[in-house]
Amino acid sequence: MPQFSKWRTKNNEAGIEMSEKDGVRALHLGSSMVQSAMRLTAPNELELAYTRCMMGFLLFHPNPIHIVMIGLGGGSLAKFVHKRMPQAKTTVVEINPQVISTARSYFSLPNDNERLQVVMAEGSEYIARNPATADVLMIDGFDDGCQAGTLCSQDFYNRARESLNRNGVLVVNLLSRDKGRDEYMRRIEHSFNGHVAILMTEVRGNQIVFALKHSPGKLAWEELRRRAENLEIEFALPFSKFILGLRKYNPHGGGYLEI
């Protein structure tokens, strides 16, 4: 039978727990939900489906120079970008110092260097202080299994748009079962003038939101397919499947339209 173990970090007052099963180490923050996961034999790869889907932003912005991430977790996305995208600088904003120390001690997160910086700060305050600095802004911040309140207000999404460079992309990880999801979507749609698409990772799981600061114009399917094929070769992620699951948010009809 596979070995399974679960433990808490030392001097832990933040509800940080870890578990291991079948060679995969998982991080739990205040609940049994897996917040981050790392395969021990491939620490820089993306183990969870939702993290792979969040990289779908490359379909809209294939060559970002500065990526800002709100919420560190085990550092899966930060490690992947740091390893696979040498042209990009990554700034990760994390409010909990124990999460930072856990990511570095147990999840192989590298120390800060010229391309990777972890900043201990509250995400909305950091965004407000740094307008027009990011090509991609990725939001993955939860509090007890729900969106952190400061990371889903109308004011926050307005400031998130302001934090992006001209062709910037906001990426938000939402839970489909979150009761506030529809309201969050309306707020994002309002802040980004309707330039919003979604990608479901599974039937009832994570919903990844892509909001574009400016309209990309008519992105032809053939162009997206060619871009997806090139990205699949470069990053070994299923970008062609991402395109099949991509939908444009339609607030007026109460549903989603294929783009």
pLDDT classification of 224: cutoffs 50, 70, 90: confident
Whether 30 maps to a domain, the answer reads no
- Taking only the tens place, the pLDDT of each residue in 30-43 is 767 788 999 999 99
Whether 93 maps to a domain, the answer reads yes
d(CA 118, CA 100): 8
Residue 144's pLDDT is 66
Q: Find the mean pLDDT for residues 154-169.
A: 97
Whether 113 maps to a domain, the answer reads yes
102: CATH: 3.40.50.150
Out of 117-131, 178-192, 245-259, the most confident range is 117-131
Q: Find the mean pLDDT for residues 116-135.
A: 97
Is residue 147 a contact partner of residue 178, using CB atoms and an 8 Å limit?
yes
Strand order in the sheet with 34-39: 4-8, 16-21, 24-29, 34-39
Residue 14's pLDDT is 60
Q: Which residues are catalytic?
A: 140
Whether 14 maps to a domain, the answer reads no
Whether 12 maps to a domain, the answer reads no
Is residue 17 a contact partner of residue 8, using CB atoms and an 8 Å limit?
yes
Residue 235's pLDDT is 97
Is residue 180 a contact partner of residue 146, using CB atoms and an 8 Å limit?
yes
Residue 117, pLDDT > 90, answer yes
Higher pLDDT, residue 197 or 32: 197
Whether 179 maps to a domain, the answer reads yes
Q: Find the mean pLDDT for residues 200-215.
A: 85
- Taking only the tens place, the pLDDT of each residue in 54-103 is 999 999 999 999 999 999 999 999 999 999 999 999 999 999 999 999 99
Count of domains in the chain? Answer: 1
DSSP string spanning the chain? Answer: ---EEEEE-TT--S-EEEEEETTEEEEEESSSSEEEEEETTBTTS--SHHHHHHGGGGGT-SS-SEEEEE--TT-HHHHHHHHH-TT-EEEEEES-HHHHHHHHHHS-PPPPBTTEEEEES-HHHHHHH-TT-EEEEEE--EETTEE-GGGSSHHHHHHHHHHEEEEEEEEEEEETT-TTHHHHHHHHHHHTTT-EEEEESSTTSEEEEEEESS------HHHHHHHHHHHHHHH-S-HHHHHHHEEEEETTTTEEEE-
Is residue 33 a contact partner of residue 145, using CB atoms and an 8 Å limit?
yes
Q: Find the mean pLDDT for residues 1-9.
A: 46
Higher pLDDT, residue 57 or 145: 57
Is residue 99 a contact partner of residue 29, using CB atoms and an 8 Å limit?
yes
Domain range for residue 206? 44-258
Residue 2, pLDDT > 90, answer no
Of 106-110, 113-117, 193-197, 204-208, the one with minimum mean pLDDT is: 204-208
Whether 169 maps to a domain, the answer reads yes
The DSSP bridge pattern shows strands 246-250 and 255-258 to be antiparallel
Percentage of the chain beyond pLDDT 70 is: 88
